[in-house]
């Protein structure tokens, strides 16, 4: 009887390990059908109820919502001329959208589908990706693709505050789980920079976290342990970095042009990646929950 119990325990243990290894495999699968979103698919974000969102569903200037079965539908249409890029939610489920066409941060309040201007500044190249700190502070990258330069902005009290100008092509941006570090990447220069965040939201002590010698970079997200998930544009991977910049894992995607990533699903361990060249979401599982 004891031998039988031992065998059963071993079988169950092997099954659990097998399931875990399947979840953590270093390749992705499709979550939505191809080309239901335009090539401008970006800004994945998940609200507190687990709904997944991305910009440019079927047409530019829209936001799509995706259910747990990977079925997208229209959530909102942005004001005329506005086109979204990055999306983030605050703790109250208010949605912030980087409107690169009109130099805005748009706001869709919880429970509504109407976008209003939260902050505007015509001097920006284009608000591209946005990040939100645990205390609600917003940051935005601002690339100038033609000149291969970029800026970094803080958004506070409905105003853009310039933190740094004349950087490389600023793109992916994220805040560490403790709210003490800001990460910004430069797509063309292939650098990821780390800053210390002060209590007023300003930054200092800029330090190079890692530099790559090939391919580009786009959106980034942190897990709860501070590991950074970085979309490698044109390489078709998501690379996972430790807070010290060490490569921990690299997930191979089906497409080659990942634009951004978000955490959601059960325990917030499912990663959803927007794919420009496929107009869809791909998905894989992380070891830790998202921030």
The tens-digit pLDDT sequence of the chain (291 residues) is: 444 444 333 333 433 333 344 457 899 999 999 999 999 999 999 999 999 999 999 999 999 999 999 999 999 999 999 999 999 999 999 999 999 999 999 999 999 999 999 999 999 999 999 999 999 999 999 999 999 999 999 999 999 999 999 999 999 999 999 999 999 999 999 999 999 999 999 999 999 999 999 999 999 999 999 999 999 999 999 999 999 999 999 999 999 999 999 999 989 999 999 999 999 999 999 999 999
Task: State residue 13's pLDDT score.
Answer: 40
Q: Which residues pair with 65 in a beta bridge?
A: 53, 73
Dihedral sign computed on CA atoms, order 246, 248, 253, 258: negative
Give the per-residue pLDDT at 17: 35
**What is the pLDDT at residue 8?**
39
Give dist(CA 138, CA 115) in Å, integer.
17
**270-275 sheet: strands from edge to edge:** 29-30, 280-285, 270-275, 258-264
Q: Tell me, what's the pLDDT at 23?
A: 58
Dihedral sign for Cα atoms in the order 119, 123, 124, 125:
positive
Q: Residue 10 has what pLDDT?
A: 39
Tokens representing residue 150 in the block: 């970029």
- Rounded to whole angstroms, how far apart are CA atoms 132 and 45? 12
Question: For 287-291, which contacts have Cβ atoms below 8 Å and span 24 or more sequence positions?
Answer: 287/24, 287/223, 288/223, 288/224, 288/225, 288/227, 289/223, 289/224, 289/263, 290/221, 290/222, 290/223, 290/224, 290/262, 290/263, 290/264, 291/175, 291/176, 291/177, 291/221, 291/222, 291/223, 291/224, 291/263
At residue 6, the pLDDT reads: 40
Is residue 185 within 8 Å of residue 217, measured between CB atoms? yes
pLDDT tens digits along 110-142: 999 999 999 999 999 999 999 999 999 999 999
* Res 266: pLDDT: 87
Residue reference for tokens 């990977």: 70
Topology annotation, domain 26-285? Neuraminidase (2.120.10)
- What are the residue boundaries of the structural domains of the chain, listed by start? 26-285
């Amino acid at each position: 009887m004891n031998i039988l119990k031992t065998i059963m325990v071993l079988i169950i243990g092997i099954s659990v390990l097998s399931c875990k290894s399947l979840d953590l495999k270093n390749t992705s699968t499709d979550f939505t059908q191809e080309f239901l979103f335009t090539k401008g698919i970006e800004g994945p974000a998940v609200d507190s109820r687990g709904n997944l969102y991305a910009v440019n569903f079927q047409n530019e200037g829209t936001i799509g919502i995706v259910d747990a079965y990977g079925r997208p539908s229209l959530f909102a249409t942005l004001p005329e001329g506005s086109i979204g890029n990055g999306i983030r939610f605050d703790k109250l489920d208010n949605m912030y959208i980087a409107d690169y066409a009109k130099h805005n941060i748009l706001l869709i309040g919880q429970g509504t589908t109407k976008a209003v201007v939260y902050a505007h500044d015509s001097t920006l190249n284009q608000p591209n990706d946005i990040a939100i700190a645990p205390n609600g502070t917003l940051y935005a990258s601002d690339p100038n693709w033609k000149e291969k330069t970029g800026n970094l902005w803080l958004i506070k009290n409905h105003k853009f505050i310039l933190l740094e100008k004349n950087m490389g092509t600023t793109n992916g941006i994220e805040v560490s789980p403790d709210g003490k570090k800001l990460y910004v990447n430069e797509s063309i220069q292939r650098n990821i920079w780390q800053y210390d965040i002060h209590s007023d939201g300003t930054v200092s002590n800029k330090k190079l976290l890692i530099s790559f010698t090939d391919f580009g970079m786009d959106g980034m997200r942190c897990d709860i342990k501070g590991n950074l998930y970085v979309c490698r544009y044109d390489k078709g991977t998501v690379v996972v970095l430790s807070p010290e910049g060490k490569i921990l894992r690299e997930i191979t995607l089906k497409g080659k042009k990942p634009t951004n990533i978000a955490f959601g699903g059960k325990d917030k361990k499912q990663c959803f990646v927007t794919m420009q060249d496929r107009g869809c979401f791909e998905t894989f599982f992380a070891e830790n929950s998202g921030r």
